[in-house]
Amino acid sequence: MNVQDRRRILGPAGAKPLVFANAEAKEDKTVKEETQLNKNLSISLQRGIISNANGSSIVETSGISLLTSVYGPRSTRSMSFEPRATLNIILQSNKFDTSNLKEISNFLISVLQCCVCLEKYPKSGIDLFINFNIEDEDELVQYIPIMIMSCMIALMDADIEVSDIIGGLTIDHTAVCLGQNGDQLLGLWKDPSSDEQDALVLNETIAKCQEQYSSSRQQLIEFISNC
């Protein structure tokens, strides 16, 4: 057997022949919960949907649906020994241009690196794919909290160790990601907006996010401790 040969698309491990009749019945496996967000916006969380991914999640709220899947830890083809895992996030949406999406995924990688225990997975790579469908186009920054939430659920569903459940909030076009009960800032994202004030003061925005942090994280904690 030759090396190139192994690049074929192999069937998934333990593949079974196609059975169409029962395709819908299998969806029962998923755990589903509806909780109320503080803005009276209902949000639906599900996990374990994608059968060939290590972990997956669907987060749905009005007008937006996010499907996140986690693959790995799996081998990378890096030639040098890496003592830690490499985290990679790929955002997919047909509504935004790719460079914008890559900038956001770069930011999400920065944030998630703070909580995923990469040192527990040497020599490997963890890939997250976020597909999102939205009805009306808004600024991408509005979706950062929900992206983080779906990544966290998918990572926990894949049983990848994370040292903290982090949360994000978006207030006045500023996304703030917090950890350790809101004491630590993990990520901040502010884009230029039309209503630019004279001096940029972010202290207040961060303080507001810290206040709302625990309530926004609560629904995620409830969801994962119930299932």
- By CB under 8 A, what part of segment 149-168 binds another protein? 156-166
Residue in the structure block whose two tokens are 């990601």: 177
Say how far apart CA 211 and CA 92 lie, in whole Å: 32
Which of 180, 214, 215, 218 is the binder for another protein (CB under 8 A)? Answer: 180
Site residues (CB under 8 A) for another protein, limited to 48-77: 48, 50-55, 69, 71-77
Helix and strand counts by DSSP (H, E) for the chain: 3, 9
Number of shown-chain residues binding another protein (CB under 8 A): 108
Residue 11, SS3? Answer: coil
190 binds another protein (CB under 8 A): yes
Residue 77 identity (one-letter amino acid): R
Choices 18-26, 35-43, 58-66, 186-194; region in contact with another protein by CB under 8 A = 186-194
118 binds another protein (CB under 8 A): yes
142 binds another protein (CB under 8 A): no
67: phi > 0 → left, psi -120 to 50 → alpha, else beta; which?
beta
The residue among 26 and 62 lying less far from another protein, judged by its C-beta, is: 26
Say how far apart CA 57 and CA 30 lie, in whole Å: 10
123 binds another protein (CB under 8 A): yes
Residue 192 identity (one-letter amino acid): P
> Cα–Cα–Cα angle for 37, 42, 45, nearest 5°?
95
What is the per-residue binding string for another protein in 197-216, x denoting contact by CB under 8 A?
-xxxxxx--xx--x------
Pairing assessment for the beta strands 174-179 and 167-171 based on DSSP bridges: antiparallel
- Nearest distance from C-beta of residue 148 to another protein, angstroms: 13
The residue among 109 and 134 lying less far from another protein, judged by its C-beta, is: 109
- Nearest distance from C-beta of residue 66 to another protein, angstroms: 14
Beta-carbon-side half-sphere exposure of residue 150 (alpha carbons within 13 Å) = 30
84 binds another protein (CB under 8 A): yes
